[in-house]
Structure 1
Amino acid sequence: MNKVFVFSCLILLGFFGNDIQATESQEMTPEPLERYTLGLMSALKANLPEKPQVSNGESCRVSVKQGRSGYIQELRVLKCSSGTLGNLVLRAIIAASPLPQPESSEDFQEEVTIVYIVDN
């Protein structure tokens, strides 16, 4: 099953039909899948400019194929509001490689879809 990660104020991770939400300010101890999504969000946000030269609300959907160690094997832009945003997101994903991995190998997904939404 392909997972979808949405980056903005929160990440939504669809896991076997259940939505798990992770925000940057978790008050309770997050579950393993929430910690995994928080790790992905942190890794990508650390490699994105604070104030990208793109408009608020623009979005980019990228397919990422990764190896078990988190290294990127393939990147594909599925849909992007602009080429500028697409380049920013692709560079951030590459710079974040190897991607953080889940605590349990059962939660690993070789292919994930990341959706980044600009929220300046």
Structure 2
Amino acid sequence: MYKNLKSIGITNPSDIERYSLRQEANSDTLKIYFHKEKGDFLTRSVKFKYPRQKKTVLIDGGRGTYKDTTEINANLRFIVEELDKITRRDQQEKDTKQQVLSELRHLEKVVSNKIAEIEAKLERL
């Protein structure tokens, strides 16, 4: 399913927790962090360096002035898209879990208040 991640040796994408991407001089550094196992002291991660692609672009609307620029490697772009899918899914699951927990806490308060109200009515009788 994640062919670009598999091409760089990541065989179990579901173990990915997060990633970081930074530019250093003429390369981009991708660091992928995996879920920590219970008892592990260090975070498991792998690092990849990709050279930036050089590109010459026209900058003055056709007068013949060009500028050299660099951009992210095409392979890295595809890998980052797959990583975004994985990490967003994890974030959505966390958000859903937080929402359910919030609803549960609210329900606990409502039930507690209702029980207290009924007990107060019983005391008055």
TM-score normalised to the size of structure 2? 0.29
**Greater relative CO, 1 or 2 (CA 8 Å, sep 6+):** 1
Which structure carries more strand by proportion? 1
TM-score normalised to the size of structure 1? 0.30
